[in-house]
Amino acid sequence: MVKEGIEDWRRNQQDVEVNNRKEWYPVSGERVEWSYKLLNVLEFDSSRKRMSVIVRNEEGKLLLFCKGADSVMFERLAENGREYEKETREHVNEYADTGLRTLILAYRKLSEEEYTLFNEKFTEAKNAVSANRQELIDEVTEEIEKDMILLGATAVEDKLQQGVPECIDKLAQAGIKIWVLTGDKMETAINIGYACSLLREGMKQILVSLDTEEITTVEKTGDKNVIAKASKQSVLQQITEGKSLVANSGSEAFALIIDGKSLAYALDDGVKNLFLDLAIGCASVICCRSSPKQKALVTRLVKDGIHKTTLAIGDGANDVGMLQEADIGIGISGVEGMQAVMSSDIAIAQFRFLERLLLVHGHWCYRRISSMICYFFYKNVTFGITLFLYEAHSSFSGQTAYNDWFLSLYNVFFTSLPVIAMGVFDQDVSARLCLKFPLLYQEGVQNSLFSWRRIVGWMLNGVSSAVIIYYFCARTGAVIIDSTWLVFGFGALLVVHWSWGRDALIFLL
């Protein structure tokens, strides 16, 4: 129960009412309330990185309140609004270093004319149906969100889910490479990296960012082309340096940390292959301040560049692009809504379930599918080739060796249930052991159970089974044979042959 501070009392589409818990009217005992009329909401956008509201207070004054990321908010403060800027920056860095998510708050008083002008243009922009609607809106909001007075900073602890570090540890042991693509600041991201054991003590960090002094000086000039060129140059240089560092070192582990601005240049056509090479050489990669589009682009780069299976896991609406781009997209259902879940291939409830999903069920599934496919081919090859061999003895007239019912039901009754039972239930090791030895997962990654050698081996096994069955029956039954005996003989010998022959083959192979 909140004992102090401002409390959100009531809110609807037009009004917001807040209470002050510590103040109340001395006579009536009621709490002091302030109500505001909500006029406009300038919504959050990942490119703007801020959001604002325009309200009119009880006295009729117009106010613009804005909150957003520090990189965009500090630029927009008025000259006389930067009273505690230095301390706020320090505080914000402190917060980020402890892994908290920070926001800067600011406000501005508006005059009536300014507001009416803005409202007109804003409504017009919002009602536009052209393709550049977003740009029109951005333009209008750009005009009004400036010259603000700094209010302060907030920090929110975004707790890491339970079991995440252990999960990531296990997956790394299983030989899975893990990258983190986040929208947080670099310090927050690094902190989270240490928290979930992606970054370990003794790992060398390679930082690629555009926060250097030379870049900031170039940015002050304001010339877009020059900035772009210089930034690209800087990024390229940092990446090449990183590559040589990785190449020259021996067995050290490297971590690559790159921020959103540099990522935009690193994903350019000339640079992206170098970037990919560098990233592959590092044990962990963290991309901070990345926009949803960049997340998707990085995923696509990895998918197309390495040609291995990629899995993306995320829980928010900003992960949707990434989830759809990856080979397998896993959405975590939870606090951030169902957007990720709706656009994913598989949805789980907590991050730590991924461990079981991959190491236990993924492992079993691979084994089951590969052996079931081979078994299906084997049984049909055996069946077909006995029929084929019989043709030679029936004057090639098309007479089948088996009863019609047997032909139809072979695949339905006689051979479907055992194969399906194996495909659904087979576990080579128990779940406990799968989790205990994560390296067993590599069996699936390297496709060791479904190589051409195995497939051809099963087929040849089928052919030899068929030949043995047919000639055993035909020669054993010799001349006093009837078609019904052939059926029973085939069936019995199939069963007998299967077990010992296969064991012998396993040993030999």
Among 229, 393, 436, 502, binds another protein (CB under 8 A): 393
Tell the smallest beta-carbon distance from residue 308 to another protein (Å): 12
The answer to whether the annotation marks 121 as part of a ligand binding site is: no
Interaction mask 350-389, another protein, x per CB under 8 A: --x-------------------------------------
- How far is Cα 351 from Cα 178, in angstroms, rounded to an integer? 14
User: 107 pairs with which residues across the strands?
Assistant: 65, 149
How do strand 149-157 and strand 100-110 relate by DSSP bridges?
Answer: antiparallel
Encode 452-463: b = buried (16+ Cβ within 10 Å), e = exposed: eeeeeebeebbb
> Does the footprint of another protein cover residue 398 (CB under 8 A)?
yes
- Binding residues for another protein restricted to 212-271, rule: CB under 8 A: none
> Does the footprint of another protein cover residue 475 (CB under 8 A)?
yes
Contacting range for another protein; rule: CB under 8 A; set: 85-93, 318-326, 455-463, 483-491: 483-491
| Strand, helix or coil for residue 19 | strand
Tell the smallest beta-carbon distance from residue 463 to another protein (Å): 19
Encode 423-448: b = buried (16+ Cβ within 10 Å), e = exposed: beeeeeeeeeebbeebebbeebeeee
Which residues touch 250 (CB under 8 Å, ≥6 apart)? none
Interaction mask 406-445, another protein, x per CB under 8 A: ---------------x--xx-x----x------x--x---
> Does the footprint of another protein cover residue 163 (CB under 8 A)?
yes
Contacting range for another protein; rule: CB under 8 A; set: 221-229, 258-266, 279-287, 479-487: 479-487
> Does the footprint of another protein cover residue 486 (CB under 8 A)?
yes
The answer to whether the annotation marks 315 as part of a ligand binding site is: yes
The answer to whether the annotation marks 163 as part of a ligand binding site is: no
Burial class (CB in 10 A: 0-12, 13-18, 19+), 266: buried
> Does the footprint of another protein cover residue 503 (CB under 8 A)?
yes
Encode 307-342: b = buried (16+ Cβ within 10 Å), e = exposed: eeebbbbbbbbbbbbbbebbebbbbbbbeeeebbbe
Determine the residue type at 3.
Answer: K
Beta carbons within 10 angstroms of residue 497's beta carbon: 16
Show the tokens assigned to 355: 């461990």
Contacting range for another protein; rule: CB under 8 A; set: 296-304, 328-336, 377-385, 499-507: 499-507
Binding residues for Mg(2+): 315, 319
Binding site for another protein (CB under 8 A): 162-163, 165-166, 175, 195, 352, 393-395, 397-399, 401, 421, 424-425, 427, 432, 439, 442, 446, 448, 472, 474-483, 485-486, 500, 503, 506-507
Binding residues for ATP: 44, 67, 101, 182-184, 289, 295, 318-319
